[in-house]
Amino acid sequence: MSEIRVQDYSDYRLYLSEYFRPKKLKNPNFTWGSWARRLGLKNNTSLLKIVNGQREAGPAIQKSLSSYFSFNNYEKDYFEKLVRISKLKRKDPEASLALYNRITQRAGKSVRREIDLETFQKVSEWVFYFLRQAKKIGMDCSQPETVMEKMRFPLPKGQIKNAIRVLKESGLESTTMGLGTQNDIASMAIQRYHKSVLDLAKLALDEVPVEQREYQASVLSVKKSDIPKLKLFLRDLMDEVDEKFESKNPSESNEIYQIQIQAFPLSK
């Protein structure tokens, strides 16, 4: 029934929201209330509280949603585990992360640790992710002077020293998995990070030889109802790039690359 796949999501609420939006655009009569009735609920209160994060989906609603989406056994199990992960996040974050890693590995995804916005606020500059990758491939990142020698785009010594300290204190120094935030959240910290890497992209146009960089751009006319699918496609593409080109043996890596994709409307 759904054109989006539950196994592409790390948050079951986002899955429900991104299913609802294009349905509503296509059919204005499709409302939270009409959907709730199709799920066998008396009103939309429970469904809205679930989507808005005010409560978790209980067993009965999980069963109704699985039936509504015609989930197969794997999809049903994945959805139920996403609900369990959400329940565990506040009570036992480590157990929540461990469960998420298990189901994403089964789905063949790159394993990422999802960090909250408060934590991301501390590491919202590109230098933190350079340091993590540098450490991963065996560079000595204990002293700012050593790091500065390896940076194509230099930063002040004090900023690098502070980044080394913050990365260690935040517990994000480990390079066993990638880092990420929840998708589709408005945040000044996330915006600051993307602005910083866009600035790097502008510098690289002038300073990096053409054979070492790749820039592509395209302007498309698209249907608004296809935007959620476009976003999912681009997220899948980034996962595919990670899977194909992130070295499985870090000792063989000898370069750190920044890769990013932007998609935004030019019309209004």
CATH code for the domain of 31: 1.10.260
- DSSP 3-state assignment of 236? helix
How many domains are contained in the chain? 1
Q: What residues does 114 pair with on adjacent strands?
A: 180
Res. 70 pLDDT band, cuts 50 70 90: very high
Find out whether 132 and 172 touch, Cβ atoms under 8 Å.
yes
Find out whether 251 and 138 touch, Cβ atoms under 8 Å.
yes
Residue 212: how many other CB atoms lie within 10 Å: 10
pTM exceeding 0.85 = no
Tens digit of each residue's pLDDT (9 = 90 or more) over 214-263: 999 999 999 888 887 788 788 878 877 887 888 777 778 889 999 999 99
Percent of the chain with pLDDT over 70: 87
Instruction: Tell me the residue type at 31.
Output: T
CA-CA distance, 149 to 23, in Å (whole number)? Answer: 53
Residue 1: predicted pLDDT: 46
Residue 193 C-beta-side C-alpha neighbours within 13 Å: 20
Question: Rounded to 10 degrees, what is the CA torsion of 139, 142, 148, 152?
Answer: 40
> Domain range for residue 103?
1-109
239 part of a folded domain = no
35 part of a folded domain = yes
28 part of a folded domain = yes
Res. 102 pLDDT band, cuts 50 70 90: low
Residue 104: predicted pLDDT: 62
Residue 136: predicted pLDDT: 87
Residue 39: how many other CB atoms lie within 10 Å: 17
Among 87-101, 206-220, 234-248, the range of highest mean pLDDT: 206-220
Q: Which whole-number Å values give the CA distances from 203 to 153, 196, 211, in the listed order?
A: 8, 11, 15
Q: What residues does 113 pair with on adjacent strands?
A: 179
66-101-248 Cα angle (round to 5): 130
150 part of a folded domain = no
Per the prediction, the chain carries an average pLDDT of 86
53-59-61 Cα angle (round to 5): 65
13 part of a folded domain = yes
Average the pLDDT over 93-105 and give the result. 64
231 part of a folded domain = no
Residue 50: how many other CB atoms lie within 10 Å: 21
CA-CA distance, 41 to 238, in Å (whole number)? Answer: 38
172 part of a folded domain = no
Residue 263 C-beta-side C-alpha neighbours within 13 Å: 13
55 part of a folded domain = yes
- What six digits make up the tokens of 97? 């992360």
CA-CA distance, 216 to 87, in Å (whole number)? Answer: 41
